[in-house]
Copies of this chain bind each other. A is one copy, B any other.
Amino acid sequence: MAQTKLSVRQEDMLTFITNFISQNSYPPTIREIGKACHITSTSVVNYNLNKLEEEGYISRMLRVSRGIQLGKNQASALVQIPLVGRIFASEPVSFPEASVSYAPDETINLTQDLVGDGKKMFALEVRGDSMIDAMINEGDYVIMKQQARVNNGDLAAIWLIDSEETTLKYFYLENDKVRLQPANPTMDAIYVDPSTVRIQGKVMLIFRQISARKTVSVIPNN
């Protein structure tokens, strides 16, 4: 609460605890903390742990081994988002069924500070290069939230009824006309009638994984 400055020792302990939990998925003991932070006495570790708890950085469970919880990590709780398919420009977005089957290989894990609570959300893999005007490559993943309305300025998945295609553009309703603004600033917006578009969802996050995807002609350099 007081949010005063942490001592170097306390900061050292906090980073160790954080790393330890992320590596082992269970918290360290007092003696493990002391050994890692070069503190010989368990009472000193206990003393500084109480300081950290007073400042709100951690929570402690009395008399419980490894009973340390990171206060800040509540914001980084995991959400599991199902990967339900692919998105083509030539098709409407295929929404998943209500039942969320548990398929670990087709699940994308993200933290809540990036995408929120993950309700009604799903992931799509982008196929084709028709999303270039939205600055989206083939192979990118789009995290979407299914909803029929979006606010002005949201990046939305929109089904264009006339031309029968799905596009991702920033949505603006202006004077009874819908302005669809490409994410690429070098491209122009298009104006359409609201009755010719159907909002399918709102894009929450886009990410692109680089590693080991373009494994072509690998020649190590000097």
Interfacial residues, chain A to chain B (CB-CB below 8 A):
11, 14-15, 18-19, 21-27, 29, 61, 64-70, 72-73, 75-80, 100-102, 104, 109-111, 113-116, 129, 132, 135-137, 149-155, 170, 172-174, 183-186, 194, 202-211, 214-222
Q: Say how far A200's CB is from chain B's closest CB, in angstroms.
A: 14
Which residues of chain B have C-beta atoms less than 8 A from A14's C-beta?
A: 102
Further contacts, 14 of them, CB under 8 A, given A11-B102, A76-B78, A173-B221:
A21-B25, A22-B77, A26-B67, A29-B65, A109-B113, A114-B207, A132-B135, A151-B218, A152-B218, A153-B215, A205-B207, A205-B209, A205-B211, A206-B210
Interchain CB contact under 8 A, A184 and B132: yes
Q: Which of B73, B152, B207 contacts A208 (CB 8 A)?
A: B207
Interchain CB contact under 8 A, B25 and A214: no
| Copies of this chain present | 2
Which residues of chain B have C-beta atoms less than 8 A from A68's C-beta?
A: 26
Query: Given known contacts A15-B102, A104-B75, is B66 in contact with A210 (CB within 8 Å)?
Result: no
Q: Say how far A173's CB is from chain B's closest CB, in angstroms.
A: 4
Which residues of chain B have C-beta atoms less than 8 A from A25's C-beta?
A: 21, 27, 69-70, 73, 77
Q: Say how far A17's CB is from chain B's closest CB, in angstroms.
A: 10
Q: Which of B22, B113, B220 contacts A79 (CB 8 A)?
A: B22
